Structure 1
Amino acid sequence: MRPLLVAGLALALMLGPSTSAAAQTTTNVCGMLVEYRAPTATMPGSITVGPEQFAIDSRATIDMSSDARIGSLVCLTGTWQRSQTVGRVLTDLRVRSREASAVPTSTPLEKCGVVTAYDFVNVPGTLRVDDVSFVVGLPGGFRRSDVPTLTLPYAAIGLGTGVCVRGLVSPLRTNVWHLLSGEVVVTGRPVTSLPNTGTAPDNRALTLVLLLAVATFFGVRRAIRP
């Protein structure tokens, strides 16, 4: 009995991640290339396009265009099987730049609110208004430099700035849009501003700092009272 068990374990290791007997499923997804790790002879790879994540079989056939880079818009077509250990495993895949393979589907959008985060340093850049993020600086879209030139210098955009974003957008994932064209109009003054980046502060941390300051003030007054 024991030799049979050992032989079974060895066979499982040689076969790699277990996949279901169901037929292979084709996929076609477009979005931002978030992550890519090529497989090796012994380890599966992985790829994330927009919100969709896949493992890549070590024996998969891969056809990836040279202009498909992290942060660029791509379209992924391929075939995958369900694995009990790593989820969806691509057995073949083809990745092409979205600008070269398809015209982005554009939707008119107007979003007015308060800036809660922004980044005009990295590529691509981002501008978050309330809970909606706009990605700028991708090929074929709204350039990061357009944000200050269409409105005011960088200092005009800060945390708490009232803005309206109007233009054509293409969906990347939930509440994240690629800003293809349009304008960003400042409608209110910022609470605070940084040269190129910013993230909304944690209100709980600010409250704690204020409470500590008040406690320190009254503690000092009590200590020096005659």
Structure 2
Amino acid sequence: MTETEPAAVFWDIGGVIVDLQSIQAGHMAFIESLLEEYDSPLSTAEALDQWRSTLGEYFRSGEGTEYLPARAGYREAIDEILDADVDDVAWEPLFQQIHDEYAEPHDGAVETIQRLADSSLHVGVISDVDDDEGQRMLEKFGAWSSFDSFTSSEAVGYKKPDRRMFETALQKADVEGEQAVMIGDRYANDMEGADALDMTTISFGAEDGPAVDHHVEELREISALVGVSD
């Protein structure tokens, strides 16, 4: 940690709070449901590969750190795997239902968030997730009310590592970068993005590098790192 005691701790959602394997399982279940309901020339495995490929191309299509809504990417992916024209009012509720059923937090995430929320620290989110998707997951996990702020790419208009994401979050917490901690799972987006504003970084799965101050294998380790005792 820096010599300055932290006043704010910010969490990424995907890959830190939420287990991405649970999200992937939800996407698989959603695709299987679509294939049962609508015509498609693809097998389940082929449809899953096409889904992933289309989403990857979609998110890479943005200019620089421009925000692209995930729901629009899902729309494109559905059109690629189905012959039928599926209206948004048909697929979106199903996607949300299955997504919410499958999404699960990483072990220790909610417990640690709540412990930090009970301290004097400002506890916030800095995430590239769509607003409604992020809020639904945190509400499902029982963690939404523990956060003092929520900074999303949808609201800011840019995705990490754009400094505007971190500047917005710091402004909400009324702290300087050296007073804040960022917990993330991606090196370039979370670690380098936060380090550029002098934030202390904690990696949960991000690769090593000079922008990483601490690595944790379990999220419960974070409490001690930020000075919150059990």
TM-score range, shorter chain: under 0.3
Structure with the largest fraction of strand:
1
User: What is the TM-score with the length of structure 2 in the denominator?
Assistant: 0.24
* Structure number, greater radius of gyration: 1
Q: What is the TM-score normalised by the length of structure 1? A: 0.24
Q: Which has the higher contact order (CA 8 A, sep 6+)?
A: 2
